[in-house]
């Protein structure tokens, strides 16, 4: 039987990592979420269009509210927000004590702006500010995609003191651009006389989709390239994390650290393994380290609780990770091109989920 002293979910926190659940529904709010917080040390929750589409279409807890909303002259998107915002508020309230006791480090709940706005920076900024005002919780986070068009909206949100979860990052280029946008937002806030000490942000780097796409390319290449399968995402993360931490702790950000600004934590997303040949805790066991978050789907959370290994693994094997990235490049794998393709694909998937969701609410 797992106890707090042996539960990997709890032990991960001793190595500086926080674990969030990649799910949100009224069924979860009715009891299971509180148990996960109390027994497993869960530190937050994320949501996205696909998660809400699945939860609302399942019907649990939404039927009466949905019927009432359909009787009102509202757009489908307004009906969605009328359902989602109370869910986020309820989850924020369940995490309120976690937020307070951690001095604002933990206890966050994310809600994403409409995926239709991904290429509309002004629309993204307006939606982020509107949703932040609607939720009215200090431990909410607004999710903004890491598209070139939306990164200025991210900067503006940070400057306005809004907590942000930057999503749909797939590589080093994304990491560098998001880091720059965060730093710019903090400096704008400071220049306007604002307080940066309570602004929090995470940068969500997606993992399993990277391996899925690159593994297919390696299979097509054949020969020695096949030995690199299942290694790209871990290598990319270890190198990106080392660069991220070095930049934040360098003279480049000394002014921000002196002002009490918080590091934007890297967050591992898409951590459920899609290849059944790989260990089901592959993207958890190997990526535990300070100032990071891992968002786990329900099945991955259960697997890590059952047989995961909590250790300071993230900074282990960085030289090997660099060698792996070089080998991938030598084999003809362009990691930047992969990141661009995966972001386009990810936006399409979120659009499709949102299409289905709004059709359900129309």
pLDDT digits 0-9 by tens, 273-304? 999 999 999 999 999 999 999 999 999 999 99
**Which of 70, 143, 326, 348 is the catalytic position?**
143
Give the C-alpha distances (Å, rounded to integers) separating 13 from 17, 194, 292, 353: 5, 31, 10, 33
Matching residue, tokens 């900067």: 155
User: Taking Cα atoms as reference points, which of 1, 18, 60 lies closest to residue 310?
Assistant: 18
Lookup: tokens for 303:
């697997």
Angle made by CA atoms 110, 55, 117, in degrees to the nearest 5: 50
Instruction: Name all contacts of 226-229 with Cβ < 8 Å and 24+ positions apart.
Output: 228/324, 228/327, 228/328, 228/331
User: Taking Cα atoms as reference points, which of 215, 232, 249, 245 lies closest to residue 320?
Assistant: 232
Helix (H) or strand (E) holding 298: helix 298-307
Q: Specify the length of the chain in residues.
A: 362
Q: State residue 1's pLDDT score.
A: 57
pLDDT digits 0-9 by tens, 248-281? 999 999 999 999 999 999 999 999 999 999 999 9
- Based on the number of CB atoms within 10 Å of its own CB, is 235 exposed (0-12), middle (13-18) or buried (19 or more)? buried
Question: In the chain, which stretches have pLDDT less than 70?
Answer: 1-2, 60
Clarify whether 143 is annotated catalytic: yes
Angle made by CA atoms 138, 139, 140, in degrees to the nearest 5: 95
User: Taking Cα atoms as reference points, which of 21, 25, 69, 55 lies closest to residue 353?
Assistant: 55
| DSSP secondary structure letters along 305-349 | HHH---SS-TTTTHHHHHHHHHHHHHTT--HHHHHHHHHHHHHHH
Give the C-alpha separation, 100 to 105, whole Å: 9
22 Rama class: left (phi>0) / alpha (psi -120 to 50) / beta: beta
Q: State residue 160's pLDDT score.
A: 98
Domain ranges across the chain = 8-361
Q: State residue 9's pLDDT score.
A: 97
CATH homologous superfamily of 8-361: Aldolase class I (3.20.20.70)
> Reduced to 3 states, what is the DSSP secondary structure of residue 294?
strand
pLDDT digits 0-9 by tens, 48-83? 888 888 888 887 688 889 889 989 999 999 999 999
Q: State residue 295's pLDDT score.
A: 97
């Amino acid at each position: 039987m797992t106890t707090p002293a042996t539960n990997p979910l709890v032990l991960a926190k001793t190595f500086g990592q926080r674990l969030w659940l990649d799910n949100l529904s009224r069924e979860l709010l009715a009891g299971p979420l509180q148990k996960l917080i109390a027994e497993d040390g869960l530190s937050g929750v994320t949501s996205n269009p696909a998660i809400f589409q699945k939860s609302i279409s399942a019907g649990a807890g939404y039927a009466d509210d949905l019927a009432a909303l359909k009787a009102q002259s509202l757009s489908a998107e307004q009906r969605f927000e009328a359902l989602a915002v109370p869910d986020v508020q309820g989850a924020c309230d369940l995490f309120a004590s976690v937020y307070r006791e951690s001095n604002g480090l933990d206890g966050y709940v994310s809600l994403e702006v409409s995926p239709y706005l991904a290429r509309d920076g002004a629309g993204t900024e307006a939606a982020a500010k509107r949703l932040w005002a609607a939720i009215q919780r200090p431990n909410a986070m607004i999710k903004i995609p890491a598209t070139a068009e939306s990164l200025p909206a991210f900067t503006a949100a940070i400057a306005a003191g809004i907590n942000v979860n930057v999503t749909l990052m797939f590589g080093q280029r994304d990491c560098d651009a998001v880091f720059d946008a965060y730093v710019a937002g903090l400096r704008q806030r400071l220049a306007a006389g604002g307080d940066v000490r309570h602004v929090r942000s995470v940068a969500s780097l997606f993992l399993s989709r990277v391996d899925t796409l690159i593994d297919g390319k390696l299979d097509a290449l054949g020969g020695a390239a096949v030995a690199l399968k299942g290694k790209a995402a871990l290598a990319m993360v270890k190198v990106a994390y080392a660069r991220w931490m070095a930049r934040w702790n360098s003279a480049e950000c000394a002014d921000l650290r002196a002002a009490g600004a918080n590091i934007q934590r890297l967050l591992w997303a898409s951590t459920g393994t899609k290849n059944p040949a790989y260990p089901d805790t592959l993207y958890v066991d190997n990526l535990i380290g300070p100032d990071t978050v891992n968002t786990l789907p329900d099945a991955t959370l259960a697997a890590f609780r059952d047989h995961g290994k909590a250790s300071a693994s993230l900074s282990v094997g960085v030289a090997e990770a660099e060698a792996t990235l070089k080998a991938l490049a030598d084999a003809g794998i362009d990691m930047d091109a992969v990141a661009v393709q995966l972001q386009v694909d990810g936006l399409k998937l979120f659009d499709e989920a949102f299409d289905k969701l709004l059709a359900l609410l129309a």
